Structure 1
Amino acid sequence: MKPPSLDEMIGQVQKLPSMPTVAIEVLRSMAGADIDIDTLARQITQDQVITARVLRVANSPFYGLQSRVGSIHDAIVVVGLSAIRSLVLAASVMSGLPAIRCPGFSQHRFWRHVLGTAVAAQALARPLKRPPEALFLAGLLHDIGRLAMLVLYPTDFTTVLGIAAARDCRLEDAERSHFGYDHSEVGAALAQRWNFPADIVDALAWHHRPALGLPGGLAGIIHYADAIAHALDLDQDGDQPGQMPSLDQDAVSALGLDWESLNAVLAETQARFDSYEPLLG
């Protein structure tokens, strides 16, 4: 049977679970200038699973709090609104999408890599003087198209996994070989349909080919964050052959990071990831 076209793939989006209400409210708060912290905290607290995961991270050694926080409101005050919103979005995305059973695909490793890329992007935000929330979100969603392909067309994606294993090639190359497009295009189309900001859509579309993204956009940073997550082996895949991304040296050079800054980013990425692991459930 012929694999679905990109339009057919995107047309099946309604079969995916909608984004949790709490995530929608957090995204709205990121777009608005005036934020009522009390209202936002109440909205987050309505989801007990997400609240529990976020509070476990907020009380982790990474934030070095002198006393434990017991509510989302207190966590926002002590840890900061930006950090809590990022944690809520991560917990929402990870808990809101369905479990997947597909031979050769580990959902646990997938989420570890996605979270690792998000915290690497967040760590890059400081030396690059870029918005940490937008980078975290772009990193968190950068492979969401792959999950959509898996959920909507599991038989086709099993074929993709077989191609990648037989040819010892990157998964995105196997996706293009079978479907004629890859998860980047699917993810960008989904993000656009879900009304995500244009810079997030662009980052999802071009994180494997940052030279084609918006000049000065987020794609190059997510491209590098993706590579950092792989280099630190945060998904515990043992650096399997064929899975390491091809690094665009021009995009990396354009970021202008020196060795001291890079070492600080690597250390912060590992520390954040270790503290954020409770979000994985």
Structure 2
Amino acid sequence: MKRGLPPAGQQLNHVTAHRIRATRTCVRFGLITGDHPGHPCLRAKTSKSRSDGAISCKFGRGCRFHLRAGDTFCTPENETRRPVSTAVPAQFDWKALSVISIASVKADLLPASIELPALPHAVTEFVQKAADPGFDIDVLSAIVEKDAALTVELLKHVNSALYAMRNPIRSVRDAIVHIGINAARLHLLAVGMKAASRAMQTKLLNQRNFWNESLQKALFAREIAKRMKLDPGLAFLGGLLQDYLLPVLTNTYDKHYMQFLEVPLGQGKELTVWERETFGFDHASAGTLFAAQWHFPPDLLCAISFHHSLEATLQGTHPEFFKMFPIALAALLPDQLHQSPTGFQALIKVAKHCRAFDLKDVCKTVDAEQMKMAEGYEIPNHLTQLLIHTQRTMQLSEI
């Protein structure tokens, strides 16, 4: 097979079109053996084998070809020529994307009265003030210090082994300066949502298990993000908060969700599909709308909105949007609502095509981390054991 993509103006044939589709698949799943700065997957598996900055893709039976910035190619979907260097938009705006996501929700379909978990006032005030580019660090510190529980949690977090401090930090101001505004905001949101969700009385969900399932998704998303050189802080909070509205919705529509759970395991629909058919909205879109009222940052709003949109994260044209990938993967983990009946099988299939991480190693790490953080509660699903069992089941089904 001839290497390289055709120069500008050269007519494409079916072989070239297939190679382009394969290139895009390789880029999305991290099947990369060359060096290129434009995509998180590529940064995770770089090499010095090529000095021309080409994307070097390998697929099939060892077939390899290269995609250089500046080459011109035809996208199979619309047959429109465009330079590789402009295939990814120059700018990416989380705020604009979150506004579009919120606007897509039909608010009139939501229940007139809904009991949302109440975030501590200090958290919402901190998030709102921190969004101002001209924020005052002393003002932000004072907001946290008004809440003794938040102060303790923040200081405990910054002095943990995660940051490996030589000398302990004893003031809120120093803690915020050390870890940064964004990290402080994400941690305070996590602490606030944990307190708010645990204070709720739920009719259908085991609240203790729900929190541990959310924590498991958060740890899983963070571990994937670390290995793919993405944003571990956003991944953790996106995994933790992606389903925060489910206890509320299952309280409001408990009889409907009971009908969903009565379907035999493995035979039901995806939860979001069923929700849209039943209510006209799903917990991802509604969760985004309500989270916006709490002044959540735009990237976190998008994490909630797109956590069940794995395909969209793979088809996105901008590396920044790929930060949603670990969060969407975490949404495939099993939980008590069986949101994705075949989610773990899908996760295994995706992981086979991604060289940026080893799924077995990720599961072991997450299990170990959760044992430390589960606060004495039983972990609902040990991922390592679940992985072994599911792989065996999949192998038997192929025989």
TM-score > 0.5 by shorter chain: yes
- State the Cα deviation string for residues 129-182 of structure 1 (Å, max 9, x = none): 434443333222211232331243334333333346695776556645654653
1:108 to 175, 189, 208: 208
After superposing the two structures, state which structure 1 stretch, 159-168 or 128-137, moved more.
159-168
Mapped contact 1:62–1:271 kept (Cα < 8 A): no
Mapped contact 2:266–2:342 kept (Cα < 8 A): no
Match in the other structure for 2:356: 258
Match in the other structure for 1:223: 328
Mapped contact 1:161–1:171 kept (Cα < 8 A): no
Matches within 5 A, 1:33-112: 33-66=133-166, 68-78=168-178, 81-97=181-197, 98-103=199-204, 105-112=205-212
2:302 and 2:114 mapped to 1: Cα distance?
22
Structure 1 residues 130 and 28, CA, compared in 2 at 3 Å: closer, same or farther?
Answer: farther
Q: CA RMSD in A?
A: 4.2
2:278 and 2:121 mapped to 1: Cα distance?
35
One-letter amino acid of the structure 2 residue matched with residue 147 of structure 1: P
Mapped contact 1:164–1:171 kept (Cα < 8 A): no
- State the Cα deviation string for residues 206-252 of structure 1 (Å, max 9, x = none): 3223224554424322112334xx38xxx8x7x99947456368976
Match in the other structure for 1:190: 290
Mapped contact 2:122–2:143 kept (Cα < 8 A): yes
Structure 1 residues 259 and 248, CA, compared in 2 at 3 Å: closer, same or farther?
Answer: closer
1:140 and 1:14 mapped to 2: Cα distance?
21
Structure 1 residues 77 and 31, CA, compared in 2 at 3 Å: closer, same or farther?
Answer: closer
Match in the other structure for 2:235: 135
1:221 and 1:165 mapped to 2: Cα distance?
25
One-letter amino acid of the structure 1 residue matched with residue 116 of structure 2: L
Secondary structure at 2:330 match in 1: helix
From the two aligned structures, give the one with the greater strand fraction: 2
1:9 and 1:85 mapped to 2: Cα distance?
31
- State the Cα deviation string for residues 244-271 of structure 1 (Å, max 9, x = none): 45636897689x55246x6776566556
Mapped contact 1:169–1:243 kept (Cα < 8 A): no
1:203 and 1:142 mapped to 2: Cα distance?
7
1:198 and 1:78 mapped to 2: Cα distance?
23
Structure 1 residue 91 displacement after superposition: 0.8
- TM-score, structure 1 normalization: 0.69
Mapped contact 1:164–1:174 kept (Cα < 8 A): no
Mapped contact 1:9–1:152 kept (Cα < 8 A): no
Mapped contact 1:114–1:140 kept (Cα < 8 A): yes
Runs (5+) with no aligned partner, structure 1: none
Larger Rg: 2
Mapped contact 2:145–2:151 kept (Cα < 8 A): yes
Match in the other structure for 1:210: 310
Match in the other structure for 2:346: 247
- State the Cα deviation string for residues 21-66 of structure 1 (Å, max 9, x = none): 2222343355343443332222112222233334444444444444
Mapped contact 1:55–1:72 kept (Cα < 8 A): yes
One-letter amino acid of the structure 1 residue matched with residue 219 of structure 2: V
2:312 and 2:340 mapped to 1: Cα distance?
26
